[in-house]
Structure 1
Amino acid sequence: MWIPKKEGEVLLALDRGAGGEVKWRRVCAPAQIDARGLTARAALIEQATGEQYDVQTLRRLPYETKSCSFELDVGETHPAGLLWTTIVNCERARILVFAIAPEFQDRGLGSHVWRMMQGDLQALGIRKVQLEVHVENRGAVRLYERLGMNAVGIIGGYYLTGDGILMEWDASLEE
């Protein structure tokens, strides 16, 4: 069972079943992460989503540094999850990367960090969030639908291995 609590500025999620502490923490821009750290994050993204990124691509992502991006700290050298966002305009943000290592999936961590990100974005006046997901990534599509996102289009050939689904969360649909 995940029990959220607040410690300073960072919400934590405690996994009492595993006996260890797991927490989402706000993070700096990829440009400030060393090559070894970016290589580990690229491996995590590939493991969790099948998408391949090189270090230079990750370093150049238009990553949000205002507080809306997070990494899953499990007490290891490198994170076990990523949620990186960018603000597109005064009402819309885009998720650049949302990946959780398979051994940490299906524990409520994605939903937990989603709510943290929503709170940060809404405090900035952002009312819509978009992302792209591979059409064959059914688990991620189900998660995004549970989080209130809707499919708004298909992006042909978006991924090397197939099409993408453009999904959007719109706060006005929840009011």
Structure 2
Amino acid sequence: MGQVVGQVVGQVVGQVLLRLPPEPQSWLIEAGLTDTNPVIISRLFVAPRGRKQGLAEALFQTAWAEAERRDLRPVLDVHHKNHAAIRLYERLGWQRRATVNGNWTDPDGTVPRVHVYLPPR
């Protein structure tokens, strides 16, 4: 749907994208998102050489603003072990609304827990 990349000295060191939620959307309903037009802010990543420069927050804010510009309702699905991302989202006021089972299997064979966040109102 849309991707933004971050660069440091001409090299791509980060990315974020907006993606439509997969069907079915029961996990979104469980999180209390019953309105239309949800979009997931996804795949926020900053390589080690790009960290500690505010790039993750800048990429995230850009994706969030773009979702709202398109009149879409941004939502996050965050692996429960992704503590750095969770700290960022909560610092920016996003609220955990549910924890659900992921729809994939981790490399160790377990089904991960996924936290669902909605933006501050």
TM-score with structure 1 length normalisation?
Answer: 0.50
Q: Deviations over 1:94-129 (max 9, x none)?
A: 123111112322321122122222222212112x32
Secondary structure of 2:61's partner? helix
1:118 equivalent in alignment to 2:64: yes
Matches within 5 A, 1:63-74: 64-65=1-2, 69-74=3-8
Deviation, structure 1 residue 136 = 1.8
Q: Which has the higher contact order (CA 8 A, sep 6+)?
A: 2
Greater per-residue helix proportion: 1
The one-letter code matched in structure 1 to 2:17 is W
Q: Aligned Cα RMSD in Å?
A: 2.4
Secondary structure of 2:57's partner? helix
- Aligned twin of 1:166: 115
- The unaligned stretches of length 5 or more in structure 2 are 22-34
Secondary structure of 2:62's partner? helix
Q: Is the 8 A contact 1:149 1:167 kept in 2?
A: no
Task: Name the CA distance, whole Å, in 2 between partners of 1:104 and 1:159.
Answer: 29
- The unaligned stretches of length 5 or more in structure 1 are 1-63
- Aligned twin of 1:108: 54
Secondary structure of 2:58's partner? helix
Deviation, structure 1 residue 141 = 0.7
Do the aligned partners of residues 109 and 159 (structure 1) sit closer, same or farther apart at CA in structure 2, a change above 3 Å counting?
farther
Which among 89, 94, 97 is matched to residue 152 of structure 1?
Answer: 97
- Aligned twin of 2:15: 82
- Aligned twin of 2:84: 139
TM-score with structure 2 length normalisation?
Answer: 0.68
